Amino acid sequence: MTAYKFSDNLHNLRMSPIVSISEEVRKKAPDFKAKTGKDFILFQRGEIDFQTPQYIKEAAKKAIDGGFTKYPKSGGEDVFKDAILFKLQYFNNATGLDKENIVCTYGGQEALELSFKLFEGKKGVGFAPCWSCVLENFVPYCATNFHQVPLESDFSIDYDKLDKALEGAAFFYLNTPQNPTGKLFSKEEVIKVAELCLKHGAFLISDEAYEAIVFDNKKHFSPTSLEYDNIISTFTLSKTYAMTGWRLGYLVTRNKEIPKLLKLGNYTQTAGVTTFLQHAAAEALKNKEESEKAIAQMVAEFEKRRDVFYNGLTSIAGMKVTKPSGGFYFFPDFSAFIPNNINGEERKHYIYDILFNEGIASVYGSCFGNYFTDNVRFSFSTTPISAIEEGLERMKKIFV
Ligand SMILES: Cc1ncc(COP(=O)(O)O)c(C=O)c1O
């Protein structure tokens, strides 16, 4: 067969292990049910079990009927960008921005991919644990020389390590609230990270996908509210409005060179985001009253799930668990339950396998980088409280 010369970067992309885990569950769940009479508990997914709010669906229908079916404006429709500016002001406390600071994208993923692409082949840094898609997709796609700086065991930052790692870096990737830990970085932490980036002449690529899913009356702090020109914030409607399938997002930066670079964007992007979807997205953000109502309902449910999950996990002696302040994930450390003589690849899957055999799907820690490989991620985005309780019961039988 002819060996055609495809891009090495594409060959280096990897399928998310989370997809393979879901496949495995699909195959094994019927057998498990037949043997035990029980369902699999799905803690592996980042999908949401809420529906997109009705007012957004109506806006999409209206936009189609209104004839917004032509090519979109390069970089984003005015109506969407105006709504973004409004939301940046009331939700992110970010002022002094205009349309030239924004590029509309297909979800947070495209916003991130475009941001990483700006620094192709260069050194990038990010905390470990780190969202798997960054490691499996953006890093290889953009041939990034990516360095992981481990968070401490309570997910706090060691600034000396970060300072050293940033030497010679083109950018730092920060995700807050964070997947997989649920950590909400405080205003002070975000500012310190941004300033360290400035010191090293590096950009801060800020991934704020979970900005609206925050608990305990805390508030997400967006680096976009800082008046620095070395920040790109990426946002998505996927999680905030249960719109994962709509593929709508945007990036914001005070550095006007970037949207210009990307608006060549007509070409680096897919010639813009579907026009009528941008109209629906505009309504999602602009209708503050409906938006706040929908978000509050969803967050209240997630917070209840988080509390039940947290109480259950902390009742298992030896389990080290940090209470998430945002997102919908737990990332407990199971090292107390792994025998010392279990090492290497076997160790990475040890807890995952035990859980899987009891009908609990999770994601093993090594999906999120080189550290925290004794941890396991549990998502509570699609699991009602009854399923969480059932999962906890099964875990107690194994580990108590
Ligand atoms: C940390 C993080 N960032 C960004 C995204 C992007 O989501 P989307 O492309 O659906 O907007 C996700 C989705 O799971 C995520 O977990």
Q: Give the pLDDT confidence score for residue 15 in this predicted structure.
A: 82
User: What atom of ligand 1 comes closest to residue 244's alpha carbon?
Assistant: 10
| 212 CA distance to ligand 1 middle (Å) | 13
pLDDT, averaged across the chain: 95
If one residue of 239, 244, 247, 273 were mutated to test the ligand 1 pocket, choosing by the most ligand atoms within 8 A of its CB, it would be: 239
* Side chain identity, residue 73: K
User: What atom of ligand 1 comes closest to residue 110's alpha carbon?
Assistant: 9
In order along its 400 residues, the chain shows pLDDT tens digits of: 888 888 888 888 888 888 899 999 999 999 999 999 999 999 998 899 999 999 999 999 999 999 999 999 989 999 999 999 999 999 999 999 999 999 999 999 999 999 999 999 999 999 999 999 999 999 999 999 999 999 999 999 999 999 999 999 999 999 999 999 999 999 999 999 999 999 999 999 999 999 999 999 999 999 999 999 999 999 999 999 999 999 999 999 999 898 888 876 555 667 789 999 999 999 999 999 999 999 999 999 999 999 999 999 999 999 999 999 999 999 999 999 999 999 999 999 999 999 999 999 999 999 999 999 999 999 999 999 999 999 999 999 999 8
CA-nearest residue for atom 3, ligand 1, is 209
70 φ, ψ (degrees, to nearest 5)? -95, 175
Peptide bond connecting 129 to the previous residue in cis, omega within 30 degrees of 0: yes
| 339 CA distance to ligand 1 middle (Å) | 35
| 273 CA distance to ligand 1 middle (Å) | 17
CA-nearest residue for atom 6, ligand 1, is 108
| 399 CA distance to ligand 1 middle (Å) | 32
**Could you give the percent of the chain with pLDDT greater than 70?**
98
Q: Is 131 in the pocket of ligand 1 (CB under 6 A)?
A: yes
Q: Is 326 in the pocket of ligand 1 (CB under 6 A)?
A: no
Q: Is 46 in the pocket of ligand 1 (CB under 6 A)?
A: yes
| 379 CA distance to ligand 1 middle (Å) | 14
Residue-level length of the chain: 400
| 196 CA distance to ligand 1 middle (Å) | 25
Say how far residue 73 (Cα) sits from the centre of its chain.
27
Angle between helical axes of 78-92 and 275-286 (0-180°, round to 10): 30
pLDDT tens readout for residues 137-158: 999 999 999 999 999 999 999 9
pLDDT tens readout for residues 85-126: 999 999 999 999 999 999 999 999 999 999 999 999 999 999
The CA distance from 6 to 154, in Å, is 43
| 4 CA distance to ligand 1 middle (Å) | 33
Which CA distances in Å does 276 have to 70, 100, 309? Answer: 9, 21, 39
CA-nearest residue for atom 14, ligand 1, is 46
Q: Give the pLDDT confidence score for residue 264 in this predicted structure.
A: 65
| 326 CA distance to ligand 1 middle (Å) | 14
User: Is the pTM for the entire model greater than 0.75?
Assistant: yes
If one residue of 183, 236, 246, 270 were mutated to test the ligand 1 pocket, choosing by the most ligand atoms within 8 A of its CB, it would be: 236
106 φ, ψ (degrees, to nearest 5)? -80, 85
| 398 CA distance to ligand 1 middle (Å) | 32
> What domains can you pick out in the chain, each with its CATH number?
8-50+291-399 (3.90.1150.10), 54-287 (3.40.640.10)
If one residue of 44, 47, 131 were mutated to test the ligand 1 pocket, choosing by the most ligand atoms within 8 A of its CB, it would be: 131
